[in-house]
Every structure is written in C-alpha cells, then in structure tokens.
Amino acid sequence: MAQIRVSMDKLREILRLKYECGMSTRQAGISCGISHQTVSNYWEQAEKAGIDWERDKHLSDTELEQMLNGGIAPERCEKAMPDFEYLFQELKRPHVTMQLLWQEYKEENPNGYQYSWFSEMYQDWKKKLNISMRQEHKAGEKMFIDYCDGPSITDPETGEKKPTQLFVSVWGASNYTYAEASLTQEKEAWLMSHVRAFEYSGCVPHIVVPDNLKSGVTQACKYEPYINRSYHDMCQHYGITVIPARPYRAKDKAKVEAGVLVAQRWIMACLRNRRFSGLSEMNQAIRELLEKLNNRNMQKIKCSRKHMFEILDKPAALPLVSQRYEYAEWRKARVNIDYHIEAYSHYYSVPYQLVREQVDVRATENIIEVFYKGRRVTSHVRSYEKYTFTTKPEHMPEAHRKHMEWTPSRIIQWAEKTGEYTKKVVQHILESKKHPQQAYRSCLGIFRLEKAYPKERIENAARRALMFRTCSYQSMKSILATGLDKQTDFSETGEKRISPMHENIRGQQYYRNEQELN
C-alpha cells in the first residue's frame, strides 16, 4: 500500500512530535489523525534524509519537502493490517459480505493476509468491543479539559443575571484540579484559560485531552480531528500535544467528567447563595474554594490532590516556559496588486514579489505577522485605524520607492530654485488638497515644464497664475503654450494696469452725471 500523503502542516507536526515531544508513533498518529505506520514511515524517511530538526524546522515548506524527497523512500509494510472499524461499519450495509471486503483489501494490499486470517482477526477484534478499558494514567502525561455551566453574574443596577462558563482541567495521575469562570467558550477565553491552568500548576502536561468544541477542534472526527490553528499555535509554544476525545465517547475524558462533578459539588454548590457583580470577583472566590478542594484528602487514598500532584505529575511534567503565550488568531489572505493584504480592516504591505499569492496572517494584540509557505516574510505593529495603509519602503518596487521619497518640503525647495512665484504656486496647490500627496502629480507636472520652457517664462507664468488665481498645472501649461506669460498687462506688484481713456468708455463720471439729472 502506497504511503499516505499528508499536508505540510501535518508533516511538520509529525516531525515536531518526534523530535520535541518524544511521542510514540501510536500517540503521534492519534494526535495527527493518521495511522501509526504512516507516522513511522515519515520518521524513517526523516532519519534517512538526515533531518536536524532544531536547524531544519526553520526551512520553508518547499525546502523541507525537497530535503525529505532527497532521502530514501520508506519501505512498505509487508502485511498491512485491515481497518477493523471500517469493516465493522461496512458490514452493516445491505449486501456487503466479508468475502467482498477481503477482495477489496487484497486489491489494495496484494501481500496482505489471506481470507482465513483476515476473518479470524476481525472476529477477535469484534469480541473486544463490549469490554471497557480501564485507563492507566502515566505521571505528568495528560491533562483533561472540559466546560460546564458556571455561576451567574448579577447586574447591581438592573438585577439582570448573566450566565458564565466554568472551565475545568484535571491532571490524569493526581486529579489535581483547576477551575475558572469566563463569559463565553470563545477561542480567546478557551486558550487563555489553558494558559492560566498551566501557570496555576507551574508546569505543563505532555498531552492535553479536550472536548470537541469549535474553539479547539475545527472539525470533530473520530479518525482525523482537525485542530484549530490558534490552539495548535499555543500548544507549539508550550511544546505539548493535543489528542481530542472522540466524539460521543465520554470515557475518553472520564477524568475531567469526574472533575466537573467534583467542581460542581465543592465550588458551584458553595457559591449558590452568593451574588457576584463581576468576573474577577467570582474567580477570586473560585480560587479560594479551589485551594480547599486540592488540599482536601480524597476518600479512597487518604491523600490530597495537591500532594499527589507534587509527587507524581509535577516531577514528570514539562517545565513551564518563561515567556507567556500571547493570544493570536490565524487568517488567510491574498496579496493584492498593490502588494498589500487586508487584515482586520487595515492594509499591511508585504514584499511586492508576493503579489497575488496566498499568505497566512498571525495577529496578536500588538503585532501582525505574515507567513508564506511556513516562513515569516514580514511583521508590522498592529494598527486599529480602519481602511488606512501601513507600508514598509523595502516592500516597494524601485520605481515606487523613488516616488515615495518626494515630500512637501522637498517639492517646495525644488520650486524655490525656479523662483519665488513658482514656489508660491506650488505652496498654494499643496495647501488646497486635503492630503499633500494628492497634489504631488500636479507639482511634478510643473517641474517637467522646464524641459520645454526656460525658468524665466515659468516664473512669469506663475506670476500670472497667482494674479488670476488659477494655480494649477493645466493653467501654467496653457499660459506658456499661448504665450500669455510674455504679456505685460500687470504691474510689477501684480496689479492690473489702468485702462487708457477712450471715447467708447463711459467711466464713473458718466454714471455720476446721469444720477444728478435724475
């Protein structure tokens, strides 16, 4: 059977689980939603390719794929195991027989098991379906996560009650519990509750087992659950693995189901008669009851959860990293022809070579990062000003960069070299626009008139434009083209000359005499 092809994101996760987390092939397969044999094949391929993960994890997707393809392809499994759960479901369908399923299996796996062994293995597997597995939790290995309804917040003015959600986490070996209330189960509240649970414990587990809520698992599936990108980002920050519970399989997270029940009895019940006006006040009360819960001796083993945690889970858990995880959201964006992407109603520049390419955008409260094929290409300080641009000069083509070097002060200095009147025309044009950049083209057009006319004529044209209040490139161009700059129908001070007396010109005296006669 040919090796299953996986996406580069999942391939990176397979390698991370091997080199950073030390997972077994079976655990990595469950986390990534693929068979352990596929995981083993990729690990073997990485070993033969000479992958040094600390160095090579910074390669782009293309470079990493080329490096893996340069190694020796992993060998095929000699006898592929049948997918018994698939057989179980297919046999429920009308007219489907074991013989038919075996023939389909042999077509895909010519070296696979013969029919007698195929049928016998399936029957042995089926006999175990009704047996409940007692889970043995290794020290420091797993933390189980779930939600339940929390206490209500009461508005002190209106008396209106607002419901909350109680986040509960339980360590597998010790039952050490953490709980806090949040207003929603949204992504940010979900992730930051994880962070505070880790900080409360002072360490992190190797594996977290959440329920299949949308904030953590984008697509719930028994075989291939798809982890939310932000959740995956947080787990990478702490170096941990996510293995979601199977849908509708409460036994997969029996620890936290019991932990929720304990939290409801020893926290929710104790707070039933208290009124809270805010979330911080409520969580302070929950934290006090949480300390009592973890320090209380458990009935069966006569030992507290905290003591068990200190001797079992904490020594075997991963250390808490010094830098706290900062909440980040991931989005995809397409680079526009102006080499900018839109993220949260603001436009950020990227290298112009990426025009029309699709990129990944990671957004925190203060930073916007842009990734292309797994490699970060740029970052910007996040702006909350809508529909404006943040542009780095190095992202621009050479021609655009030269245009951006023009500033109002530089344009005025250049105009002053031609003459005082040209300077005044340029200043008037710049001041007439809401944004100076809108006047750049007009000013540059005036500068280019020097290629066709001497500076003296341009200066005279500027004097005339000022006198008649027609300060624009088109006006200057028209004055020069028609030769109006050579006329002398204005004084040196810019005032019009008095017209000479003429018999056809009546003048003010004529109208004065008319008024006296009337």
CA distance 166 to 179: 7
Q: Per-residue pLDDT tens for 148-158?
A: 888 888 888 88
Helix (H) or strand (E) holding 242: strand 241-242
Beta bridge partners of 276: 153
Q: Per-residue pLDDT tens for 32-58?
A: 888 888 888 888 888 888 888 877 777
**What is the per-residue pLDDT for 220?**
45
Alpha-helix residue ranges (DSSP H) falling in 109-245: 115-127, 187-201, 229-238
What are the b/e assignments for 54-65, b being 16+ CB within 10 Å?
A: eebeebebeebe
pLDDT interval class at 319 (50, 70, 90) = very high
Beta bridge partners of 361: 331, 370
CATH topology of domain 142-319: Nucleotidyltransferase; domain 5 (3.30.420)
**What is the per-residue pLDDT for 493?**
45
CA distance 459 to 446: 11
152-156, 166-170, 397-401 — which is least confidently predicted? 397-401
Mean pLDDT value across residues 138-165: 86
Q: Per-residue pLDDT tens for 343-380?
A: 988 999 999 899 889 999 999 889 999 999 889 999 99
pLDDT interval class at 504 (50, 70, 90) = low
Q: Residue 503 corresponds to which amino acid?
A: E
- What is the rounded end-to-end Cα distance, in angstroms, of the chain? 117
Mean pLDDT value across residues 461-480: 89
What's the per-residue H, E or C state across 255-316?
A: HHHHHHHHHHHHHHCCCCCCCECCHHHHHHHHHHHHHHHHHCECCCCCCEHHHHHHHHHHHH
Of residues 156, 152, 176, 154, the one with CA closest to residue 166: 152
Highest-confidence segment of 173-187, 220-234, 249-263:
173-187
Do the beta carbons of residue 244 and residue 225 sit within 8 Å?
A: yes
pLDDT interval class at 201 (50, 70, 90) = very high
**What is the per-residue pLDDT for 133?**
41
Whether 307 has a pLDDT exceeding 70, the answer reads: yes
CA distance 227 to 216: 6
CA distances from 177 to 197, 255, 291 (A): 9, 10, 9
Chain center to CA of 251 = 33
Do the beta carbons of residue 213 and residue 190 sit within 8 Å?
A: yes
**What is the per-residue pLDDT for 70?**
66
Between 193 and 259, where is the model more confident?
193
Q: Does pTM surpass 0.85?
A: no
Q: Per-residue pLDDT tens for 87-120?
A: 876 776 657 788 889 989 988 888 888 888 888 8
**What is the per-residue pLDDT for 289?**
92
Mean pLDDT value across residues 326-343: 88
CA distance 143 to 200: 13
71-85, 336-350, 400-414, 433-447 — which is least confidently predicted? 71-85
Alpha-helix residue ranges (DSSP H) falling in 449-494: 455-467, 473-482
15-24, 59-68, 130-139, 386-395 — which is least confidently predicted? 130-139
CA distance 425 to 413: 13
The chain-wide mean pLDDT, for the chain, equals: 80
